[in-house]
Amino acid sequence: MTERVALYPGSFDPLTNGHLDILSRARRLADRVVVAILENDVKTPLFSVAERIDMIHEIVGDDRSTLVRSFSGLLVAFARDVGATLIVRGLRAVSDYEYELQMALMNRRLTPSIETVFLMAKEEYSYVSSRLVKEVARLGGDVSGLVPESVRHRLVARVLSQESRVESRES
Ligand code: PNS
């Protein structure tokens, strides 16, 4: 029987508990899930691609059923390369819908045989995004429960090191 492979793409800058929840749901739909981190994103990331891969590996491992990879170029081309027939995206609120619809339809136009499926994380994560988590951490707020503990440690260390760099430049 052929293996069903799902691709779970994103920036994951950093991975949140919402992402982890979607990943565990995706694992139930596919024999193998490839977490795919976009390289060369226009957004300036807080963590390098290598750091993000590392953080995700620490939490989910890297066995045959869950792989963590980076990609550049078209998502559907990468999906074809890894043999994925499903693209998994998390949908939180109506505000996500327009952007996700555009991407899903564009990807379907490019490769009709690959289906995008939207999964909903637990309600408690419906407001959690990497962007907000970074903002709260930068402003000294507590992000425990929103990201895995290992990610929280790295996040706090990174924002503190950025702050001290800014302070030393200003002094
Ligand atoms: O977590 P994000 O930042 O919302 O993820 C966005 C991502 C990586 C899924 C999206 O930017 C993407 O697929 N980029 C690859 C470029 C591409 O294929 N573009 C054309 C189809 S929309």
Tokens of 18: 């919402």
Confidence of residue 67 (pLDDT cuts 50, 70, 90): very high
Ligand 1 centroid from CA 104, angstroms: 10
**pLDDT value at position 165?**
74
Angle at 118 between CA 41 and CA 125, to 5 degrees: 80
Active site residue 134: no
**pLDDT value at position 168?**
74
Q: Please give the Cα distance from 145 to 115 (Å, whole number).
A: 32
* Closest protein CA for atom 14 of ligand 1: 75
The answer on pLDDT for 95 being more than 90 is no
Confidence of residue 42 (pLDDT cuts 50, 70, 90): confident
* Closest protein CA for atom 19 of ligand 1: 74
The answer on pLDDT for 62 being more than 80 is no
Tokens of 17: 């508990």
Whether residue 107 has its Cβ less than 6 Å from ligand 1: yes
Q: Which of these is catalytic: 25, 32, 52, 92?
A: 92
Q: Please give the Cα distance from 108 to 118 (Å, whole number).
A: 14
Q: Which residue has the higher pLDDT, 148 or 63?
A: 148
Q: Which of these is catalytic: 32, 89, 130, 154?
A: 130
* Closest protein CA for atom 16 of ligand 1: 74
Report the pLDDT averaged over residues 20-39.
97
Q: Which residue has the tokens 């430049």?
A: 169
Residue from 22, 52, 70, 75 whose mutation best tests the ligand 1 pocket (most atoms within 8 A of CB): 75
Confidence of residue 166 (pLDDT cuts 50, 70, 90): confident
Residue type for position 46 = L
Q: What is the CA radius of gyration of the chain?
A: 17
Q: What is the 3-state secondary structure (H, E, C) of the chain?
A: CCCCEEEEEECCCCCCHHHHHHHHHHHHHCCEEEEEEECCCCCCCCCCHHHHHHHHHHHHCCCCCEEEEEECCCHHHHHHHCCCCEEEEECCCHHHHHHHHHHHHHHHHHCCCCEEEEECCCHHHCCCCHHHHHHHHHCCCCCECCECHHHHHHHHHHHHHHHHHHHHHHC
End-to-end CA separation in angstroms for the chain: 65
Confidence of residue 171 (pLDDT cuts 50, 70, 90): low
Per-residue CA distances from 99 to 91, 137, 141, 149 (Å): 10, 26, 29, 30
Whether residue 60 has its Cβ less than 6 Å from ligand 1: no
Ligand 1 centroid from CA 80, angstroms: 15
Q: Which atom of ligand 1 is nearest to the CA of 130?
A: 1
